[in-house]
Amino acid sequence: MVKIFSFLLFFTFSFKLYAIDTKAEQAVVIDFDTNEVLFEKNSNTKVIPASMTKIMTVYVAFDRIKNTNFAISNECKVSPKAYKMGGSRTFLEIDDNVTVDDLLKGIIVQSGNDASIALAECLGGTEEDFAKLMNVYAERLGMTNTNFINSSGWPDDNHYSTVYDLGILSNAIIKDFPQLYTYFKMEEFTYNEISQPNRNKLLYEVQGADGLKTGFTKESGWGIAATALRNDRRITVVINGTNSSRSRLNESSNLINWAFNQTSQQTLVEKNEFIKEVDVWLGSESSINLISEQKLVSTLSFDQIQLMNSSITYTNPISAPIKKGDELGKLIINIDGKPKIEVPLIAEKDVTEVNPLFKIFAAAKYLIFGRSLDEIK
């Protein structure tokens, strides 16, 4: 017989969470640690990523620096193609040899299209071949709705991504290259005697902001991949399709602040936590503890905490023999707005069978009195 037991995991809260929305046409808010999407709006719609593309250009370079002899002190020659590139620039000079360090700063801080091409050619031979490499990395990271044609984000019909994919990329560059990621916190960079501030204004105006990259084209509007760290908790936001740089700043900062202020990470269950004592049929012990197989952490709003409920399913009684770690049931957690969560419940220890003669006696007793073994006095 399968039994279901219901209980609340947390005390209720009286705070009412107000709904969040954004003027951005596309948006996603991700908790960095739990990888949960806290808010989304058209997050899988294909968009022009514009200069947010440069996060992948930098990701490829970081990977080469971390895993090969390629170093930030290496020099790359500026080609005529890089020098002539329009849009935002680092103001590289043709045929100059520029360090990888300066090119990275030019890309991240100044959003230099010329620096992006120079680095792409240095790593891939041609920008076209480098773009193929970008797509290999995108596939590895699970960016299933992305295709790169160039290293800078220059508009092309076949150059696209989604804010969700860019969120995956943003979190990956932070996780995979924590030491190199500090480039994104730079507020200003001077090259060729021209000083330019970081175009990510969140660095100056939002608590804990330390990256990543803005983007703009007339067709796509203003977008940004942004992240902030507060009290060891990180939130990543990607938006696109706002109508001004001010709106981009306001919408991204609103979403970051909402995530920090109105959601929190909750440990739903600890690994090996005691959940339920259940009967054992024909075992050397009359009962056994069911414990959780894994630790489960989720990011929840206050409303979700208040409305959350859970239940346990298992067969009662459970027949011996039982080995420690056997899955004997499930803890089912229902949270509004999230898929149903199932946590396996396992045996805390071994329970052997009783001897054959006692089995016969126990079975007869059950048939006569309708009692299980653990009820025999």
The structural domains of the chain, ordered by start, are 2-12+268-375 (2.60.410.10), 26-242 (3.40.710.10)
Q: Could you give the 3-state DSSP secondary structure of residue 314?
A: strand
DSSP H or E segment with residue 114 = helix 113-124
> Position of tokens 């005390």?
11
The pLDDT of residue 361 is: 60
The pLDDT of residue 357 is: 56
- How far apart (Å, rounded) are the C-alpha atoms in residues 307 and 18? 15
The pLDDT of residue 284 is: 87
CA 287, chain centre distance (Å):
41
The pLDDT of residue 306 is: 85
Instruction: Supply 319's token pair.
Output: 């027949």
The pLDDT of residue 316 is: 80
Residue ranges in the chain whose pLDDT is less than 50: 1-18, 371-377
* Contact in structure between 222 and 242 (CB atoms under 8 Å): yes
| Catalytic residue status for 54 | yes
Tell me the pLDDT tens digit for each residue of 341-374: 999 999 999 999 886 656 556 565 555 555 444 4
Of 41, 43, 54, 170, which one is the catalytic site residue? 54
Of 43, 88, 111, 298, which one is the catalytic site residue? 111
- How far apart (Å, rounded) are the C-alpha atoms in residues 172 and 152? 19
The pLDDT of residue 304 is: 86
Q: Could you give the 3-state DSSP secondary structure of residue 204?
A: helix
Backbone φ and ψ of 369, nearest 5°: -110, -10
Nearest CA-CA partner of 191 in 107, 77, 85: 107
* Contact in structure between 124 and 140 (CB atoms under 8 Å): no
Q: Could you give the 3-state DSSP secondary structure of residue 268?
A: strand
The pLDDT of residue 169 is: 98
- How far apart (Å, rounded) are the C-alpha atoms in residues 257 and 147? 31
Of 43, 51, 79, 116, which one is the catalytic site residue? 51
* Contact in structure between 165 and 145 (CB atoms under 8 Å): yes
The pLDDT of residue 20 is: 85
The pLDDT of residue 337 is: 81
Q: Could you give the 3-state DSSP secondary structure of residue 291?
A: strand
| Catalytic residue status for 349 | no
| Catalytic residue status for 301 | no
